[in-house]
Amino acid sequence: MPVKAEVLCALGPDASSYKPAADQRPTSDAMQLANRVNAAVKTLCGSQCPTMALLRNATAPNAMLIADAGQAKLVYSPQFLGAAYNSFGDDGIVAVIAHEVGHAMDATMGAAWIKKSWTPELRADAWAGCLLARLDPAPANLQPSLSALSKYPSPSHPSWNLRLPALRAGYTQCGGAGSKFDARK
């Protein structure tokens, strides 16, 4: 009996509308942004990094991470990517990708600095903060990243006032200056 794909995180409503048969290769600009995140990931885990396919699919709810028969897929809606780019630029899209990748990092690596009491969404946010620190955005570029994460939560995300400390914890744990994070406005 085949194993049913499991949605690990869906940013946006109606994950049930996703049709895997409509998966397509990503656009070159989406791949370029994913490669930036991947470069940051490699600074943390080297050859032990989680791997996943990046796909576009108009039936996806914004962006989602799926475990399917032992393979991870990060699937994005082209409409979502266009809207996120128009509102937050490349930095917003990178942050959304970092959050989804954060779920995979949490599942494969874990980290002593991540609070055990945090939900999977908060742990993914902490990893996203860590990856943003590794990407080393200027404070002005950090704001669009955080704004995108705030605007596109999953249905199971806690409120933003709980998410922001997790993002900051990951950011400072991975070399980002707390003062830079706090000066992002």
Q: Residue 69's pLDDT is what?
A: 76
Kindly give the pairing relationship between strand 6-11 and strand 63-68.
antiparallel
For residue range 123-132, list pLDDT tens digits in order: 999 999 999 9
Residue 124 lies in a domain: yes
pLDDT exceeds 50 at position 1:
no
Residue 121 lies in a domain: yes
Element (H, E) at 166: helix 160-173
pTM (predicted TM-score): 0.92
CB-CB contact of 54 with 30 (8 Å)? yes
Residue 53 lies in a domain: yes
**DSSP state for residue 6 in the 8-state scheme:** E
Residue 129 lies in a domain: yes
Q: Residue 3's pLDDT is what?
A: 53
Residue 1 lies in a domain: no
**DSSP state for residue 24 in the 8-state scheme:** B
What's the mean pLDDT in 46-67?
91
Provide the domain limits for residue 78.
6-182
How many degrees, rounded to 5, is the angle at CA 182 between CA 101 and CA 102?
A: 10
For residue range 28-38, list pLDDT tens digits in order: 999 999 999 99
Q: Residue 163's pLDDT is what?
A: 94
The structural domain count of the chain equals 1
Residue 79 lies in a domain: yes
